[in-house]
Amino acid sequence: MQRTQIEGTLPIAINLVVQQTPVKLKKVIMTQMTAIESIEAVQPGEYIAISELAYMTKLVDDEGNQHQMKYIDLGHSSRKNLAYLQDLRDKLDAKEEAENSETEQASSEH
């Protein structure tokens, strides 16, 4: 099953260390998660919203390599990033609904 995804750019870069080199990443790809993944994403003591958004989001470097965002990456970044990813998730949800609606419409026409 192809999962719905959406791309975006964080307002504030997130610092990662990739192969012992510090990088600042702003480009993201967010992918819709399953119900089971939604439960698995949250660890004891973590905030649900941050856990789910981090789980859904990959940071993309200049070469196009994707790096899984971690809870700590988002949790210790700017509040603007949290707000941006919440908005991006709303857009992803709308995109998923639209794609599902198109699929249902195409199925009913056959």
What is the total count of domains within the chain? 1
Long-range Cβ contacts of 46-51 (<8 Å, 24+ apart): 46/71, 47/75, 49/82, 49/86, 50/74, 50/75, 50/82
Q: Is residue 110 part of a domain?
A: no
Q: Is residue 108 part of a domain?
A: no
Residue 23: count other Cβ atoms within 10 Å of its Cβ: 16
| pLDDT one-digit tens code per residue, 6-24 | 999 999 999 998 888 899 9
Written as six digits, the tokens of 76 are 């210790």
Query: Domain of 60?
Result: 5-102
Residue with tokens 């419409």: 105
What pTM does this model have? Answer: 0.88
| pLDDT one-digit tens code per residue, 9-65 | 999 999 998 888 899 999 999 999 999 999 999 999 999 999 999 999 999 999 999
| pLDDT one-digit tens code per residue, 68-107 | 999 999 999 999 999 999 999 999 999 999 988 876 666 6
Q: Is residue 59 part of a domain?
A: yes
Q: How far apart are CA 92 and CA 98, in angstroms?
A: 10
Radius of gyration of the chain (CA): 15
Portion of the chain with pLDDT greater than 70, in percent: 92
Q: Is residue 95 part of a domain?
A: yes
